[in-house]
Amino acid sequence: MAASNVPLDLVIRFSTSNPDVILSIPSPSTTSALSLKQQIRAELDEPASTSRLRLIHSGKVLLDTEALSRTLHITLPPPPRADDNASKSDKAKGKQPLRPPPLQAARVYIHCSVGDVLTPTDLAAEVEAAAKADAALLSASTDATEPAQSVGHNASTTTSTTPAPRGFDRLLTTGFTPAEVATLRTQFLAIQAHTHTPDTMPSGPELLTLEERWLDNGHSPSAGGEEGGFTSDDSGGLEDMLWGNLIGFFWPVGAMFWLMREEGVWTRRRQVAVLSGFLVNITFGFLRVMN
C-alpha cells in the first residue's frame, strides 16, 4: 500500500508555550501544507491564530502547495505475516469479519514556528491559496498515473566545497530569517539551562549536534511506536527532584551556604528542589514546636 493512501495523525508542536495539537488527516495526498495551516489556526487562540506559521519536519520547511504525502516522511507499520493467516483453522476463518479492518493512522510530528501577526489581507490570501492548492491536488489525484516526482532532488544539486549548514542554521536555506533562527536558538538554550550547569552548557559542535537531533528526531516517539516511558530529560528531572529535596531536608544550612558561595554547581532544577526540601524541613520544625 502506498504511503500516500495512509491517514495521518499529525502532532503539531509549537515554538511558543502553546500546547500540542493533534490533527487527523484522512487524505494526505490531497491536503496541502496551506490547508494544514488553516486547521492549525482553528485550534489556536489569538494572537497565535493570526500569526505567521512555518511548518518544519526533519529540518525542512514544508512547501505550501505540496501534498503532505510528498513532504512528510511516513513510516508504514509492518504488514502481517503470511504464516499467521495460514495457521488459522477453518472454524476460525469462518468468524473473520467480512470487511477489512480500517487503516491505522501513522503518527507524524511537525514543529510549528509562530512568527509575526499577519494582516487580514494576508490571512484572506492564505485561505484562497489553500483552497486553490487543495483543488489542484484533488484534480491531479484523479489521474490514474501521476508523473513520477524527482526523488533525487538533493542528490542532483551541485557539489560544493563549502560545508553544509548544521543545526538551526539549516533553516536559513528554507526561508527562515537570521532573526528567527537566533530567537529559536535562544529558546533552545533556555531549555538546556534547566538540565545543564553554566560550565557544562553545550556550545560549538556539541550545540550544533543537539540542534540537529532536535530537528531530526528530538520529538519523535520511541522506536516501539509508544509515547510512554521516561526520556533522558525526564529521568534527570526525577533525580534532581529526589536528591535536591533530600539535601535540602537533611542538610539545609550547608546546602544554602554552598549555593551562595559556589554558583553553577547545581542545575536550576536541583536548586529549586533544594529550596523545596528546606521549606519542608522548616514546616516540620514549626509543627514540632507548636505541638
Q: Give the separation between CA 162 and CA 28, rounded to whole angstroms.
A: 36
* 114-123 per-position pLDDT tens digit: 888 889 999 9
Q: Are residues 181 and 115 in the same domain?
A: no
Q: Is residue 23 part of a domain?
A: yes
* Greatest alpha-carbon span in the chain: 84
Full domain range(s) for residue 172: 164-224
Q: Give the separation between CA 12 and CA 23, rounded to whole angstroms.
A: 8
> For residue 110, what are the CA distances in angstroms to 33, 118, 162, 258?
11, 21, 29, 43
Q: What is the CA radius of gyration of the chain?
A: 26
Q: Is residue 155 part of a domain?
A: no
Q: Is residue 187 part of a domain?
A: yes
- b (16+ CB within 10 A) / e for 217-237: eeeeeeeeeeeeeeeeeeebb
- Report whether 231 contacts 264 (CB < 8 A): no
CB atoms within 10 A of CB 134: 19
Q: Is residue 94 part of a domain?
A: no
Mapped onto helix, strand or coil, the DSSP state of residue 74 is coil
Q: Are residues 135 and 18 in the same domain?
A: yes
Q: Are residues 11 and 122 in the same domain?
A: yes
Helix (H) or strand (E) holding 254: helix 252-261
Q: Using the 8-state DSSP alphabet, how is residue 3 labeled?
A: G
- What would the grid cell of residue 188 be? 533552545
Q: Are residues 29 and 53 in the same domain?
A: yes
Closest CA to 113 of 215, 30, 220, 25: 215
Q: Is residue 178 part of a domain?
A: yes
58: left (phi over 0), alpha (psi -120 to 50) or beta: left
Domain termination residue (choose one: 187, 207, 224) = 224
Given the DSSP bridges, would you call strands 8-14 and 106-117 parallel, antiparallel or unpaired? parallel
Q: Are residues 110 and 171 in the same domain?
A: no
Q: Give the separation between CA 176 and CA 281, rounded to whole angstroms.
A: 50
**For residue 53, how many C-alpha atoms fall within 13 Å in the half-sphere facing its CB?**
29
49: left (phi over 0), alpha (psi -120 to 50) or beta: alpha
Q: Is residue 171 part of a domain?
A: yes
Model confidence, pTM: 0.48
Residues present in the chain in total: 291
Q: Are residues 70 and 179 in the same domain?
A: no
Q: Are residues 14 and 116 in the same domain?
A: yes
Q: Is residue 32 part of a domain?
A: yes
Q: Are residues 17 and 62 in the same domain?
A: yes
**AA identity, residue 149:** Q
Domain termination residue (choose one: 179, 203, 224) = 224
Domain termination residue (choose one: 186, 203, 224) = 224
pLDDT in tens, the chain (291 residues): 455 567 888 888 888 888 888 888 888 888 888 889 999 999 988 888 889 888 888 777 888 888 888 888 776 655 555 555 555 555 555 555 555 555 566 788 888 888 888 899 999 999 998 888 888 888 877 754 445 444 444 544 455 566 777 777 777 776 677 887 788 778 777 777 666 666 667 777 777 787 777 777 644 433 334 444 444 455 556 777 787 788 878 877 777 766 655 555 566 777 788 888 888 888 888 888 887
Q: Is residue 197 part of a domain?
A: yes
Q: Are residues 191 and 288 in the same domain?
A: no
Q: Are residues 7 and 54 in the same domain?
A: yes
Q: How many domains does the chain have?
A: 3
User: What CATH number did the domain enclosing 50 receive?
Assistant: 3.10.20.90
Q: Are residues 63 and 183 in the same domain?
A: no
Q: Are residues 18 and 120 in the same domain?
A: yes
Q: Using the 8-state DSSP alphabet, how is residue 151 labeled?
A: T
